[in-house]
Amino acid sequence: MTNEKIALLDAGAQYGKVIDRRIRDLNVECDILSMDTNTTILQQYKGIIISGGPSSVYALNAPKYNKNVFDLGIPVLGICYGMQLMNYHFGGTVEKKARREDCQMQIQIKTDNLLFEGLTQTQDVLMSHGDSITVVADDFEIIAESTGIIAGVRNKEKKLYGVQFHPEVDLTKFGKKIVDNFLYKICKFSGNYTKESQLNSSVKYIQNMIGDKDVLVLVSGGVDSSVCAALLAKAINHSQIHALHINTGFMRLNESCQVEHDLKKLNLDLKVVDASDAFYNATTTIDGIKTDKLSEVVSPEIKRKIIGDCFMKVAEEEIKNLNLDMDKTFIAQGTLRPDLIESASGIVSSSAEVIKTHHNDSELVREKREKGMVVEPNKDLHKDEVRMVGKYLGLSDGLVWRQPFPGPGLAIRIICAHEPYMDKDFQETNAHLDEFVAKYNLNATLLPFKTVGVQGDSRTYNYAVGLSGKAPWSVLMNIAKEIPQYFHNINRVVYIFGQEYTKTISKITPTKLTHDAIVQLQRADDIVNKNLMKYNAMRKIAQAPVILFPVSFDKENKRRSIAIRLFITNDFMTGVPAVPGEDIPQECMDEITEEILRDSSISRVVYDLTPKPPGTVEWE
């Protein structure tokens, strides 16, 4: 007899855990398994979903899979790579096309099937693929299309369904309904997996891991680490919990004082350590080679690794100062599942492409985890779920709704560079961009540095492009979707406030993690957050990174500029930029821009127009 659970076979998708979260939102328990899970195990499940992934089904290094998976009599839903694999398995063809899709698209569906029952014929969905089905396998029929690209198939007799798009993410407007249809109309689940059972699982996990031993909880003051601390307080004796806040020197303006104030509400003893000097001068060893000091490094990956290792070394020293036995003391972190997915942690999937190195998932942390000494009670939760747990545990709105702030702090929101990034395609891309945006009476210019993005389930380090001129926000947002589709070396599009900019930028302002750069960003970040609070926009905005980047839009090339990314998302794996005048008042944006530019060391303010994908939330 099958369990009331569904199996998610992970082909290396960055959205794998989002699928899992969607399923759990619909009160069905989900297990993430490898693609080659044996038949005996698969037969225990009531349904199977095969995720997307970065590979091509016809490639020699494609993930190995259990070839019996489609013949078990169990309903299967293939998503993106999963659909292509299903089609390829039954003799259909899959090929790479000149046109790839990495944004929200409109598709046409057939509603006379259980998967799309109750939906309208036109749907907005998230596409993220380069390969496409070119010939449909025998006994399959097309149930969705996207301007000539096959977007959905089914084999009714075998209860096999495939979609090229991602129903698990918010950018697929009615994706939750599609997943619901698969779970309840096709798989016939009863829906007995509740939020209370998930919370109880987190508490039991803490109790089983820690027992009567000590635990050090590293708190930044954000919602993740605060909920982690609250769960610890619910699960074990307060005398076992030692809370530590480390000021890295890359905190927001007056952040450490605010952290100390907020944590007192949890009735936990908190020790605040100013380790800013240690971080500025920190180094680490990578592949046997010692790095430069953090204050001299420009590589975002090396910055993260230095910060992660220094963070753990400071924590270890503080454990000694607290007279705790390091070998017997657990470390608790607020790490979320998306953090582990984006760093391709083995906990999630060995097939996943690394999107970023998470500071809480450094080599030292992994060593501690391998010894069973790292406690991460939020590791199966996404941000919205963490907030729900926080409210359930009685945390204040001020704490629960605080804007997310990365552990490495402002260090990864300062784009460091010694020299401009101008690949051999720079001039040609600039010329083609001018032609592309001319029909909108806009100007475009490549910015000569790299930002991180995610395209086709893989990490990309590509150009950002700045638009200037006058156009409605809706037009600018649409252009930002179009540009990465046609220019695969671009993963981010911004709008340049102020006077129209018509020049080519070929120089940068050399930037490192110096005191002046940190102060520039602290001031701008404070202005953005205070105005979002003033205009009551915090609840609407899920994340609000403010970035200092090394471009001066004037002749001197001595100043830097500020980018603002106001991001709306529920799943924290995909999302869209907030639209000024709709999601936030235009007056709020005007005040923010005007106030930031009072700092004479700032050249311009730009607004990030990029959805995710192709641009990640953070720029590094």
Which pairing describes strands 149-155 and 47-50: parallel, antiparallel, or unpaired?
unpaired
- Radius of gyration of the chain from its Cα atoms, rounded to whole angstroms: 24
Task: Report in angstroms the alpha-carbon separations of 246 from 374, 466, 526.
Answer: 18, 36, 20
Active site residue 166: yes
Active site residue 416: no
CA distance 406 to 215: 22
Q: Do the Cβ atoms of 189 and 47 come closer than 8 Å?
A: yes
CA distance 559 to 370: 46
CA distance 578 to 587: 14
**What is the DSSP track for 69-99?**
GGGSSS-EEEETHHHHHHHHHTT-EEEEEEE
| Token pair listed for 313 | 């070394």
Determine which one of 101, 103, 129, 166 is catalytic. 166
Residue 455 bridge partners (DSSP): 458
CA distance 561 to 549: 6
Q: Do the Cβ atoms of 513 and 411 come closer than 8 Å?
A: yes
Active site residue 260: no
C-alpha dihedral over 145, 150, 152, 156, to 10 degrees? 110
C-beta neighbour count of 280 within 10 angstroms = 20
Determine which one of 101, 168, 342, 376 is catalytic. 168
Q: What number of CA atoms fall less than 13 Å from residue 238's CA on the CB side?
A: 6
Determine which one of 80, 103, 187, 588 is catalytic. 80
Prior bond of 613 cis (ω within 30°): yes
Q: Do the Cβ atoms of 412 and 406 come closer than 8 Å?
A: yes
Active site residues per annotation? 80, 166, 168
